[in-house]
Structure 1
Amino acid sequence: MIVSKFGGTSVGTYEAMQRSAGIVATDPERKLIVISATSGTTNDLVALSAYNLDSTTREGILERIEKRHVDIIKQCGESEKLEKVFYSQLSELREHLDFVGRDKRWKDRLYAFGELMSTSIFVEVLKKRGIDAQWMDSREVIKTDSTFGNAEPDYEVIKKKAEKLIDKNTTYLVQGFIGSDIFGNTTTLGRGGSDFSAALFAEAVEANTLEIWTDVAGVYTTDPRIVPDAFQIHEISFDEAAELSVFGGKVLHPATLKPAIRGGVNVRVASSSDPAEPGTLIVKEAKKKPAIRAISLRKDQSLLTVNSLQMLHQHGFLAQLFKVLAEHKISVDLVSTSEVSVALTLDTAVNAANKVELTDSVLDELREFAEVSVESDLALIALIGNDMQKTSGLGGPLFTALERYNIRLICHGASSNNLCFLVDHGEAEQIVRMLHDKFITE
């Protein structure tokens, strides 16, 4: 059984939907199809969630959503039934916008409209291709807690629901990104969560392969927009791909691989616009294991340095430090320590997305027991590969190549699959190009 997920650009137009339906039709083992909202729709729904949105702006956004979907429906032929379904959904969306309370629960219900709209159209496109797909509401299977906006799935319940509701001889079309809690409230898995949804389904139905169909032809050695010579990686291990996704790779949602690893499901990333390309296969053990496979770049990093003589031969200082950060829900990435100092990297963009930041009040709380400094406008570069802590002769050439750059922090040894360092934001892309040319270019 194959679970196939199609992203927003893969269903963003009638032509894109036709290509994606053609891909589904080429293999009868593609029994569970997971769809994102049409490209641009989730952004529009997020814009509609703003407080004090004036009526002119609101109507402009709604008209954009309507046009995007009706343009596809009109090309489907015999569109009256589809239009009726869509306008019913649009009416429900308008009613939801008129609701006074705009908490996270309200927003999750709002954001779900994108996937519900796209799947109601795509199921008809599949049927016209001769694929008798059954539309299913993902919220019946993907059960989560009530952390609206970034819900945590309940794997055991999802498994039981899948066993009860999914017949492996039937083709299903489901929505990515959305689920529901035990009270039936709609929840979302966070932006990019359609990949996560697909992996949860793949694990639950014990699929052989999870396909991620997107607008790029697989995982690349680095961002091709930075290094035009970057090339596609045909096979990569779960461990490498997980590190790559966490440290800035844009192809996969960072959480996607967890259910796939647990379920032993191979993952294939490929382009829906060029399905003949082999894409990238993500497996438990890759046949080739180069020391450096890829280079990733994550911008918008900050460096928090905490210094205190209390650390010297004392216990409990780190616990006190991390307790303060945890209480304020501040996410920490890399950690480096000395006898009297701790340096921490903070992902500014991730923390901002979670609506948390290193405010003056947080810094004042830290200053009660330590000296504190913060540096911003930094970038994190990660070399991703295999057995890096056992590879002789790697450090010399690497640090010789970096000798004219100021390296603010280095993290090596915690993982055999990555070596990370922090650099000035303005020099980051130049460093990536240089390292790719030196260590990866074929």
Structure 2
Amino acid sequence: MKIFKFGGASVKDAAGIKNVYSVLEQVGYSDVLLVVSAMGKTTNALEVVVGDYFSKSASLQSSIQEVKKYHNQILLDLFEDDKHAVFAAVNAWFTELDYFLGHNKSPNYNFVYDQIVSMGELISTTILSHYMNYRGIKTQWVDVRGLIKTDATYRDAEVDWEVTQKNISKGVKRKMLNISQGFLGADDNGFTTTLGREGSDYTAAIFAYCLGAESVTIWKDVPGVMNADPRYFENARLLNQISYREAIELAFYGASVIHPKTLQPLQKKEIPLYVKSFLEPLLPGTSVAKGADLEPQLPCFIVKKNQLLVSLSSIDFSFIVEDNISEIFALLHQFKIKVSLIQNSAISFSVCIEDKFGNFDQLKSILAKKFRVAYNENVSLYTIRHFNAQAAQMVEEGKTVLLKQISRETMQIITKEA
């Protein structure tokens, strides 16, 4: 079997759904399982519903109505007959959502989040499945929650591989088009769980591993994996081939194309992953597979904006040793602050961090009791894999370099706009 993953951008409107049909017509759909995300920005819209629910906001009903209206417009654009069974099927999901909001007793934010946000994928796949049948492609709609079993760590669930393997082996029909949801699973009690953001790619890898699939293809609005983000770098070039190891390295440094969690199950069975354009589906795209690290061999640029560079030094000029570093990392973990780079000397310790949850001020006040704390806000961290002098010069030009770190394959440069 082949596993195809279509993200939110590919199914954001009726034209997107029609294009998925066109892609399948061109590349084939027998023995294919589609893993599909929520449509467009639906996950964000459902996060607003979650927020309104917990804040008991008067705008809760209008937030839900926005999501209903968005999907209803897509239905009207796809199906000529407004009595088509898809309207009732989608309405049933919204009825389930309304029932949950009216009867839920759990105060657990993460639990509630998963029950509400999961509606995006359930609705998008329902619409896609009905549309494919409408256009003459027979499908099996598969509720992934009956197949991928997880623990009860809501919003970041761990997969029970043994049970999941058995379920998927039985639950997927070969020789036809299967359509299922990305991002979702279910715990032992049947409650919906989610696998973390970017979880749809991971779902595709889970299916591929359990089915011994021939390949996984992630369909995106770009021709494949580029050696740099075109938003920040001119002349970004397509990478034809990346090894599993190199892809994991790139992801570790912040490249947003493929999450390491997705690559690990594929690497175990040497299942190739392709990143292709849903706008030009017959182009070869990028393959992530066993073989050459990179083809063509080019420097790869990764940039992380809005970082903080924090420098700690001992108040009494004593050495910063293992105990101090251990304590600093425990605090960073406690405040959910992601570390992108570290550098230390005898009496100082510098760390480039991402304060995603706005906890730095609290952390700073605790650190200031033991260390001198200096920091630069809104710095950029550039990572260059397979760097050369020209690549480094390009990154540094017109900027103030605050810190530079070089290893055999990788250069990292922290800059501030000059």
TM norm structure 1: 0.83
Aligned pairs for 1:16-55 (under 5 A) are 16-25=16-25, 26-28=27-29, 30-51=31-52, 52=55, 54-55=57-58
1:248–1:53 distance in 2 versus 1, CA, 3 Å: farther
Change (3 A) 1:254 1:46: farther
Report Cα offsets for 1:22-66 as digits up to 9, x if no partner.
3234324552110111112111101111143644x4343333322
- Asked if residue 93 in structure 1 is aligned to residue 97 in structure 2, the reply is yes
Partner of 2:14: 14
| Contact preservation (8 Å) 1:270, 1:279 | yes
**1:157-236 matched pairs, under 5 angstroms:** 157-236=163-242
Aligned residue number for residue 2 of structure 1: 2
The alpha-carbon distance between structure 1 residues 329 and 288, as it changes in their structure 2 partners (threshold 3 A), is closer
Partner of 1:412: 406
Once the two structures are TM-superposed, the CA of residue 289 in structure 1 deviates from its matched residue by 5.0
Q: Distance in 2 between matches of 1:403 and 1:66?
A: 49
**Paired residue for 2:380?**
379
Pair 1:134 & 2:140 matched: yes
Aligned mates of 1:232, 1:46 — CA distance in 2: 34
Amino acid across the alignment from 2:374: S
| Secondary structure at 1:3 match in 2 | strand
**2-11 or 150-159: bigger deviation:** 150-159
Aligned partner of 1:111 in structure 2 is 117
SS of match in other structure, 1:383:
strand
Correspondence 1:275-314 to 2 at 5 A = 275-286=281-292, 288=294, 292-308=298-314, 309-311=317-319
Q: Deviations over 1:57-113 (max 9, x none)?
A: 434333332233223323234553111111111122222333465521011110000
2:349 equivalent to 1:342: yes
Say which is worse superposed, 34-43 or 240-249, in terms of deviation.
240-249
Matched-pair identity in %: 28
Judged with a 3 Å threshold, the aligned counterparts in structure 2 of structure 1 residues 86 and 345 are, in CA distance, closer, same or farther, namely same
For the residue of structure 2 that corresponds to 1:39, the secondary structure is: coil
How many residues are matched?
409
The alignment's TM-score, normalised by the length of structure 2, stands at 0.88
Secondary structure of 1:411 counterpart: strand
Q: What is residue 330 of structure 1 aligned with on the other side?
A: 337
Unaligned runs of 5+ in 1: 389-393, 428-442
- Matched to 2:333, the amino acid is A
Q: Does the Cα contact within 8 Å between 1:22 and 1:129 map onto a contact in 2?
A: no
- Can you give the 5+ residue segments of structure 2 that lack an aligned partner in the other structure? none
Residue 270 of structure 2 aligns with which residue?
264
- 1:418 Cα offset (Å): 3.1
Residue number in structure 2 paired with 1:363: 364
Distance 1:411 1:181, change over 3 A: farther
Q: Bigger shift: 328-337 or 96-105?
A: 96-105
Report the Cα offset of residue 199 of structure 1: 1.6
Q: How many angstroms apart in 1 are the aligned matches of 2:292 and 2:410?
A: 16
Following the alignment from structure 1 to structure 2, what is the Cα–Cα distance between the partners of residues 381 and 142?
37
RMSD: 2.7
Q: Of residues 84, 88, 91 in structure 1, which corresponds to 2:88?
A: 84
CA distance in structure 1 between the aligned counterparts of 2:212 and 2:148, rounded to whole angstroms: 15
Residue 437 (structure 1) aligns with:
none
In 2 relative to 1, CA 396–24 (structure 1 residues): closer, same or farther, beyond 3 Å? closer
Supply the distance in 1 between the matched residues of 2:399 and 2:41 (Cα, whole angstroms).
39
CA apart distance, 1:285: 2.0
Q: How many Å separate the matches in 2 of 1:249 and 1:326?
A: 22
How many Å separate the matches in 2 of 1:134 and 1:42? 24
**Which residue identity lines up with residue 65 of structure 1 in the other structure?**
V
C-alpha displacement at 1:290, in angstroms?
A: 5.7
